[in-house]
Amino acid sequence: MKISCGQAADICNRSQYKESNVWEKLKLRLHLARCRECKKYSSKNAKLTTLCDKAGLCCLSEEDKQGMKQKLDGEA
Ligand SMILES: [Zn+2]
């Protein structure tokens, strides 16, 4: 049932693109409840998603999204 920080980050990334299943999300949520670092990471991801939604950037390429993500990571 326990997952590592790396696995949590992976699920987090994939759920951003709606590629993770319910079971994975549940495990991720359990991990986030205990791990402060991953919680920080996931809220950063949520920030990125909100940003994309606002700007209507759903058509961005993966490359562009990565670029934006790096920008956000730089802020932290
Ligand atoms: Zn963690």
pTM of the model: 0.53
What average pLDDT does the segment 31-48 reach? Answer: 80
Q: How far is the CA of 56 from the centre of ligand 1 (A)?
A: 31
Burial class from Cβ neighbours inside 10 Å (0-12, 13-18, 19+) for residue 25 reads middle
> Which alpha helices (DSSP H) does the chain contain, by range?
5-16, 22-34, 36-55, 62-75
Ion ligand 1, residues whose Cβ is below 5 A away: 5, 8, 35, 38
Task: Count structural domains, the chain.
Answer: 1
Domain that holds residue 60: 5-75
Structure confidence by residue, pLDDT tens digits, 8-28: 888 877 877 778 888 888 898
Contact by Cβ (8 Å): 32, 15 = no
Structure confidence by residue, pLDDT tens digits, 42-69: 777 777 666 556 665 455 677 777 887 7
Q: Which residue has the higher pLDDT, 57 or 34?
A: 34
